[in-house]
Amino acid sequence: MGGIDRSLGESLRVRCRFRGFRFVVFVSGAEGTADPTDEGAPVGEFMESTFRRLLGNALVTGVTSTFLWFALTFWVFLETDSVIASGVIAGGFSISSAVLAPVFGTFVDRHRKRTAMLAATTLAAAAFAVAAAVFFTVDHERLLRLTGPWFWVLVASTLVGSVAGQLRGIALSTTVTLLVPESFRDRANGMVGTVTGVSFALTSVGSGLAVGGLGMGWTYASALVLTVAALLHLATVRFDEPAPERTPGDRVPIMDLRSAIVAVRAVPGLPLLIGLAAFNNLLAGVFMALMDPYGLSLVSVQAWGLLWGVLSLAMIGGGVVVSRRGLGRSPVRLIVGANLAIWTACSLFALRSSILMVALGMVVWLALIPAIEAGEQTVLQASVPFEQQGRVFGFAQLIENAAAPVTALLMAPLAESVFMPFMTDGAGSDLIGGWFGTGPDRGLALMFTIAGLAGVTVTALVRRSRAFGCLEASTAQAPAVTTHAMPDRPVAEALVPAA
């Protein structure tokens, strides 16, 4: 952490290190609270201790919530053979996370961030406790009766706990603004992306193994224990933060979408950025619905599951790169470039029936997702006032996350009724079958290629728009090498490369 020198009366000079950089922080005056959005917010202790502890806590709660929900989906299908029940469970998580995001975003803005995270974790622990109690006390046959109440009580309580754990990400994003200087927020968001990648890897590989090897009872018990442990740990994490301003007699709605929309529209180009993310997620629904059937037409179930476990390392690697190198001077330009690379890969990997090409395409996708997510969060943190960020993050999550499930629900019937016959014995097999290939799997491949080309086209058009140019200019970052002291602020920071 470095040393502390006291000199010149009430001035305080703090030296600290973080990831290869030496910070020199000058604190002028014994009293006063720094603006959480200022460059002068305290760095060393928060970045080295508090922020990392919050990240570790988020990893535990994130893995637990998604892990349990995926495990429940697998278990219900294995025990009931009901595609409808497992489909409702799988879709319920995405839809609930999207719909409840503005509600929790409003709560985040009206309360201290630590309070919001404690509330979400407490809710998750209580919900998992109810689910575990139902699982262990209700007879197995009655529990799996889809027309009975206990099955849906189990599903609903698990859903509440899992969604509450995921919505903590909104509070964590605003905490980045609170604890991290602006020039380093891209790297902090990259660290958040790394945590997301680790969660994805553990969930992808472990949820099925846990159900098959340990059983659902142990899965519920371990999820409850880990969530309670995360809650107790979070209670020990403390940091200074300003109290949200409230007007006496002001009645705040549970879901304050109006303020979020006003804040988004106040920034030129920001509605277009959120719209681009929503469009990308809309196209991602094609892959969400059809990637498993396509992959399983090329390799076995075991090989497909193992492949995704390995591919998830690409997401972790992408997050690590962003956390170490940042996003460069223009996060907006990086978002566009990464999207172009992803959609180009998606338009090419299915041109041949090759599991190697699928793997390469997915590596590009997963490796660049952390950069895109970090870029979007960095832009929002830089352009939206701190006191409105919870609502804006919640609104963005609503718009973006609601798109993919809608497409996913439509793509499977479209593939089965139109594209698969089209490339099997329809006109498509005659027109392009000679070089593209024929059969039901080539119908799925054609949908991937069309979705990729649509993504490239829309992203290129967005890049040429005037609104996006304005957003790029307003959010361009200066190089994180030197930040000059400002004597009229209570905290000023000078940053030089480490020796």
Q: Please enumerate in sequence order all residues whose Cβ is within 8 A of that of 7, keeping only pairs 6 or more positions apart, or say none.
A: 13
Q: In degrees rounded to 5, what are phi and psi of residue 493?
A: -125, 135
Kindly give the residue spans of alpha helices, DSSP state H, lying in 138-269. Answer: 140-143, 149-179, 185-213, 216-235, 257-265
* pLDDT, position 37: 43
Three-class SS state of 25: strand
CA torsion 351-355-359-361 (nearest 10°) is 10
Return the CATH number of 43-237, one of 1.50.10.10, 1.20.1250.20, 1.10.30.50, 3.40.50.10140: 1.20.1250.20
Q: Which of 199-203, 226-230, 353-357 has the lowest mean pLDDT?
A: 199-203
* pLDDT, position 68: 86
In this prediction, residues 410-415 reach a mean pLDDT of 81
* pLDDT, position 174: 87
Cβ atoms 351, 437 nearer than 8 A: no
* pLDDT, position 278: 87
In this prediction, residues 88-96 reach a mean pLDDT of 76
**Is a pLDDT exceeding 80 seen at residue 2?**
no
* pLDDT, position 83: 60
**Is a pLDDT exceeding 50 seen at residue 489?**
no
16-70 confidence digits (pLDDT tens) = 443 333 333 333 333 333 444 444 444 444 455 788 888 889 888 888 888 888 8
Q: How far is CA 441 from CA 292, 353, 390, in A?
A: 11, 8, 43
Q: Which of 49-58, 195-204, 335-344, 415-424 has the lowest mean pLDDT?
A: 195-204
Q: How confident is the model at residue 205 (pLDDT cuts 50, 70, 90)?
A: low
In this prediction, residues 147-156 reach a mean pLDDT of 88
* pLDDT, position 357: 94
- What is the rounded distance in angstroms from the CA atom of residue 208 to the CA atom of residue 221? 16
C-alpha Rg value of the chain to the nearest Å: 24
- What is the rounded distance in angstroms from the CA atom of residue 342 to the CA atom of residue 361? 8
**Is a pLDDT exceeding 80 seen at residue 409?**
no
Burial bucket for residue 274 (CB in 10 Å: 0-12, 13-18, 19+):
buried
421-460 confidence digits (pLDDT tens) = 999 888 888 888 888 988 888 999 999 999 999 999 999 9
Residue 177, amino acid: T
* pLDDT, position 453: 95
Query: Which residues on neighbouring strands pair with residue 494, listed in sequence order?
Result: 24
310-332 confidence digits (pLDDT tens) = 888 888 888 889 888 888 888 88
**Is a pLDDT exceeding 50 seen at residue 14?**
no
Q: Could you tell me the CATH superfamily of domain 256-481?
A: MFS general substrate transporter like domains (1.20.1250.20)
**Is a pLDDT exceeding 50 seen at residue 496?**
no
Rounded to two decimals, what is the model's pTM? 0.74
- What is the rounded distance in angstroms from the CA atom of residue 378 to the CA atom of residue 471? 12
251-293 confidence digits (pLDDT tens) = 767 888 888 889 888 888 888 888 898 888 888 888 877 887 8
Quote the crossing angle between the two packed helices 355-383 and 466-475, to the nearest 10°. Answer: 70
Q: Which of 206-215, 377-386, 422-431 has the lowest mean pLDDT?
A: 206-215
Comparing C-alpha atoms, which of 190, 166, 178 is closest to residue 394? 166
158-186 confidence digits (pLDDT tens) = 999 988 877 788 888 888 888 888 878 88
Only one residue has tokens 């989906």, namely 73
Q: How far is CA 464 from CA 209, 245, 264, 336, 448, in A?
A: 47, 40, 20, 10, 25
* pLDDT, position 389: 87
Q: Which of 27-41, 91-105, 132-146, 341-355 has the lowest mean pLDDT?
A: 27-41
Query: Which residues on neighbouring strands pair with residue 23, listed in sequence order?
Result: 16, 495
* pLDDT, position 367: 92
pLDDT > 70 in the chain, percent: 80
Vertex 478 angle, CA 240 and 189, to 5°? 50
CATH 1.20.1250.20 spans which residues of the chain? 43-237, 256-481
**Beta strand segments in 389-450, E:** none
Q: How confident is the model at residue 250 (pLDDT cuts 50, 70, 90)?
A: low
Most confident of 244-248, 394-398, 470-474: 394-398
In this prediction, residues 339-365 reach a mean pLDDT of 93
